[in-house]
Amino acid sequence: MAKSFDQLDTRAALAEVARQFYQRGWMPGTAGNLSARADDNTRPGFWITASGMPKGQLEDNDFLLVGVRDDSVIERLRAAHKPSAETSIHRAIYRVFPHARACLHVHSVDACIAVSRVAATLTTLRLPPLEVLKGFDLWEENPQIDLPVFPNWLDVPRIAHEIEQRFSVTPPRISALVVRDHGITVWGESLQQAFNRVEVVEFIMSYMARAGSGV
Ligand SMILES: [Zn+2]
């Protein structure tokens, strides 16, 4: 088998994940953003995709190292690069879930359709009890799992704030969320685990989009 993403250099692995997601139609144009923790001894930080880069053509230098505790840029590999406009959402995830080592956010048609079937007043999307949920280490008959749903505010830090507030009090049973009319965010204890779980959530979103009336 080819190397796991966790065996590759972090930035090379993130660029490869972006290429694969782009080919699947989940990162069209410059959409979506990917990150992975890269702590040194003194400053907790994570590498994140630079803003506005086409996700099918990322190079190892198209990432910035940014802080977890604040919005500092620790390392910039190209002078013109700015961190992804949605960096605050990644930071919120890493702050609430100390074991998260990677956070992946993609825009897919199916996720937008699936969540559009949920009333605007609801904050969760009940998932069908599909076999693939075992990818989230959910080993139970007929699992009743709710995917957290957040409104898509133009002000991204507001989305991040709502995620941090809500998950600090009520962590979800799966390491994933969906922003309405926007896309999914999935995190994992390794980049490979987060990658696998994006595929699981997208499988479920695709199922729900095709199922039509929801479940
Ligand atoms: Zn987005």
Helices (H), 61-190: 87-96, 109-116, 156-169
* pLDDT score recorded for residue 213: 53
Q: Could you give the CA distance from residue 77 to residue 100 in angstroms, rounded to a whole number?
A: 24
Q: What is the DSSP letter of 174?
A: S
Residue 107 Cα, ligand 1 centroid: separation in angstroms?
6
Half-sphere exposure of 35 (CA within 13 A, CB side): 34
* pLDDT score recorded for residue 202: 97
- Compute the Cα dihedral for 174, 114, 21, 59 and give only its sign: negative
Average pLDDT over residues 139-143: 91
Residue 18 Cα, ligand 1 centroid: separation in angstroms?
13
* pLDDT score recorded for residue 215: 45
The domain ranges of the chain are 5-211
Q: Tokens 């605007």 correspond to what residue? A: 120
Percentage of the chain with pLDDT > 90? 86
Residue 128 Cα, ligand 1 centroid: separation in angstroms?
24
Residue 15 Cα, ligand 1 centroid: separation in angstroms?
17
Residue 202 Cα, ligand 1 centroid: separation in angstroms?
15
Q: Give pLDDT tens digits for 177-188.
A: 999 999 999 999
Residue 63 Cα, ligand 1 centroid: separation in angstroms?
16
Residue 167 Cα, ligand 1 centroid: separation in angstroms?
19
Protein fold of 5-211: L-fuculose-1-phosphate Aldolase (3.40.225)
Q: Helix, strand, or coil here: 188?
A: strand
Residue 85 Cα, ligand 1 centroid: separation in angstroms?
8
Give the phi and the psi of residue 192 in degrees, each rounded to 5.
Answer: -60, -40
Q: Tokens 């990432």 correspond to what residue? A: 63
Residue 140 Cα, ligand 1 centroid: separation in angstroms?
32
Q: Give pLDDT tens digits for 64-97.
A: 999 999 989 999 999 999 999 999 999 999 999 9
Sequence-ordered strand ranges (E) for the chain: 33-37, 45-49, 63-67, 73-76, 102-106, 124-127, 145-150, 176-179, 183-188
Token output for 128: 């069908």
Q: Given a cut of 80, is residue 10 above it in pLDDT?
A: yes
Mean pLDDT in the chain?
Answer: 93
